[in-house]
């Protein structure tokens, strides 16, 4: 697959991987079958990002709200994450991928937390692709946890209230230090953000597709990147200003 023009490749892509359940239902199979197929799509899209030179990929694997799903589905998802960690980390490490989990990890069992920590430590020196898996994540939670850190810094006397500005506050938000989010993709047909990366998506281009997540592959990723490359990103300026820059 030829890489797109490097200047037009988004540096950071986030994906709401939606549609696993419907994909499985269409095949008269349990929802866990769809999640398992979704895992294969994750592998393919990671491969596509590596090929195209995307620097960071952030995937919404489990939202703060997903705990409300039937208990057997939640358990199956946890089991799937554990198995995926066991199976995929070697390969990701060999490919130069740095793995991070973002979200409120305290809610998970000790075994899963320990394996997430081990995977993060093991891959910490890799720099080819930053792969962030959002688990028990919510965009509002993220802003609130940053606000708590800001309040702590003020209470501790390290910071004055008026010193809190967007740049400073942004340092406490998850994924600080990574390239800004350029492209936000949602599969599965719904046109909403669903409490993912609210702060980080401020200037992201949004891309929605009806394709169900298990069917999303490298060709779909390429189409999304091509669509991104055609957008004019103005960041609040006029088209003329952008053309002159
Ligand atoms: C949304 O589809 C998907 C999820 C809640 C889980 C995402 C998990 C994976 C793709 C599995 C592999 C991930 C990793 C990181 C190993 P849905 O169940 O809401 O689908 P529906 O809208 O059709 O019901």
Q: What is the pLDDT of residues 89-135, one digit of tens each?
A: 999 999 999 999 999 998 888 988 999 999 999 999 999 999 999 99
Domain containing 166 equals 6-244
CATH code of residue 70: 3.40.1180.10
Report the run of H or E that residue 106 belongs to, with start and end. none
Minimum CA distance residue for ligand 1 atom 15: 61
| Closest-lying ligand 1 atom to the alpha carbon of residue 36 | 11
pLDDT tens over the chain, length 245 residues: 444 566 699 999 999 999 999 999 999 999 999 999 999 999 999 999 999 999 999 999 988 889 999 988 888 888 888 888 888 999 999 999 999 999 999 888 898 899 999 999 999 999 999 999 999 999 999 999 999 999 999 999 999 999 999 999 999 999 999 999 999 999 999 999 999 999 999 999 999 999 999 999 999 999 999 999 999 777 788 778 787 87
The model carries a pTM of 0.92
Residue 25 DSSP SS3: helix
Which residues form the catalytic set? 18, 66
Sign of the Cα torsion 29, 31, 32, 37 reads positive
Which residue stretches of 55-164 are H helix? 71-94, 110-122, 139-155
- For ligand 1, is residue 17 a contact (CB within 6 Å)? yes
The H helix count followed by the E strand count for the chain is 8, 6
Q: Are 10 and 178 in contact (CB under 8 A)?
A: no
- For ligand 1, is residue 59 a contact (CB within 6 Å)? yes
Distance 16 CA to ligand 1 centre (A): 9
- For ligand 1, is residue 19 a contact (CB within 6 Å)? yes
For the chain, what is the domain count? 1
Q: How far is CA 211 from the centre of its chain?
A: 18
Is residue 1, in this structure, part of any structural domain at all? no
């Amino acid at each position: 697959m030829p890489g797109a023009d490097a200047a037009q490749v988004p540096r950071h892509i986030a994906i709401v991987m939606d549609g696993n359940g419907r994909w499985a239902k269409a095949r008269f199979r349990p929802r866990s079958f769809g999640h398992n197929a979704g895992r294969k799509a994750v592998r393919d899209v990671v491969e596509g990002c590596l090929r195209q030179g995307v620097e960071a990929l952030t995937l919404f694997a489990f939202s703060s709200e997903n705990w409300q799903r039937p208990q057997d589905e939640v358990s199956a998802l946890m089991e799937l994450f554990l198995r995926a960690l066991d199976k995929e980390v070697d390969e990701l490490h060999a490919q130069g991928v740095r793995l991070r989990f973002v979200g409120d990890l305290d809610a998970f069992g000790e075994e899963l937390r320990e394996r997430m920590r081990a995977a993060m430590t093991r891959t910490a020196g890799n720099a080819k692709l930053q792969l962030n898996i959002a688990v028990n994540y919510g965009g509002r939670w993220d802003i609130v946890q940053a606000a708590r850190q800001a309040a702590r810094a003020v209470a501790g006397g390290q910071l004055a209230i008026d010193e809190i500005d967007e740049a400073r506050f942004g340092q406490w938000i998850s994924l600080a230090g990574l390239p800004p989010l350029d492209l936000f993709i949602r599969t599965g047909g719904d046109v909403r953000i669903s409490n993912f990366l609210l702060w980080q998506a401020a200037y992201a281009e949004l891309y929605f597709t009806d394709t169900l997540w298990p069917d999303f592959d490298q060709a779909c990723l390429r189409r999304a990147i091509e669509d991104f490359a055609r957008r004019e990103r103005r960041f609040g300026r006029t088209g003329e200003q952008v053309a002159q820059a």
